[in-house]
Amino acid sequence: MRAVGLHADVVVATSRVYQTTCTLVRSGAEAFCIDSPVLPDELEVLPALAEQAGFTVVGLLATHADWDHLLGRYAFPEAPLGCAETTAGRLINEPGEAQRKLRAFDEQLYLDRPRPLSLPSAQRLPVPGKIEVSDRELELQPADGHTVDGMAVWVPWARVLVCGDYLSPVEIPMLHPDASLDAYLATLARLEPLVEEAEHVVPGHGGPIDGTRAAAILREDRAYLEALRDGGEAAKLPLARRTGEQRKIHAENLRRVG
């Protein structure tokens, strides 16, 4: 796991698996943990990383309900979980889904965890809206399209945007079976002014990037999705993301919009 400080109040850890990001945000004596790393040893050292940086984690935030973003309870078992109402609804409507996918992942890689994943009822946060962290506020924006749920988190005093599974430097836009291409484009439109203001952007996969690179990725993703909507087969993958795995995702996207 790699960890990097983006600001005195923001530290990002990037998992060795899927390059999933976990963001620690602090204000005063309180901190939130947004999303999570994936591997057991990464989750084990996360509290020590937070303590060493002077972050006292009082709550967890999840950008969306995909299992690899919900593992913060392993690191901070007493911290309550907050998420968008759409994400809370998805967790209710898909009982045990995250646990089943985590178990399948662990079995494939022969991984052991100290206990089953516990996901108690999540606090439903106002999205769009704000949430207090000590004497400051995080701003929350809807971020659906990749999945039917989700939120992005803007840290205004640090100019950091934590955007969930959007604007990834390693992954093309991925449409889940029940997701919406038009909703994805609408999310990009909502994120665009924040990207223009951001010094750093933290995508769900790929590690933190600067605002300029994020703006370029946003333009590439919009062009890809518009081509996917208008012609399908004519949609070209962004040059830096033309790997074999991304071509598989593209094939699934074609099937879902076709």
**How much is the pLDDT for 179?**
86
Angstrom CA distances, 220 to 137, 158, 208, stand at 31, 26, 18
Tokens 């078992």, residue located? 77
Give the angle subtended at the CA of 167 by the CAs of 195 and 28, to the nearest 5°.
55
Contact 24, 60 (CB under 8 A): no
In eight-state DSSP terms, residue 111 is -
Strands 136-142 and 129-133: antiparallel
Rounded Cα gap, residues 73 and 57, in angstroms? 11
Contacts for 42-48: CB closer than 8 Å, 24+ residues apart: 42/1, 42/13, 42/15, 42/16, 43/71, 43/72, 43/74, 43/75, 44/74, 44/75, 45/1, 46/13, 46/22, 46/75, 46/76, 47/75, 47/76
Q: Find out whether 127 and 141 touch, Cβ atoms under 8 Å.
A: yes
Percentage helix, strand, coil for the chain under 3-state DSSP, each rounded to 5: 40, 25, 35
Question: What pLDDT score was predicted for residue 172?
Answer: 96
Residue 122 · residue 91 · CB < 8 Å? yes
Average pLDDT per block of 10 residues along the chain, 258 residues long = 96 97 97 98 97 96 97 96 96 94 97 93 94 96 96 98 97 92 97 98 97 98 94 84 94 88
Pick left, alpha or beta for residue 183 (phi over 0 → left; psi -120 to 50 → alpha; otherwise beta). Answer: alpha
How much is the pLDDT for 194? 98
Q: What's the rounded Cα separation, in Å, for the pair 16 and 224?
A: 27
The dihedrals phi and psi of 91, each to the nearest 5 degrees, come to -65, -35
Nearest CA-CA partner of 220 in 146, 180, 168, 255: 168
- Domain 2-257: which CATH class? alpha beta
Chain-centre distance of CA 77, in angstroms? 20
Contact predicate 254/177, CB 8 Å: no
Q: Where are the domains of the chain?
A: 2-257
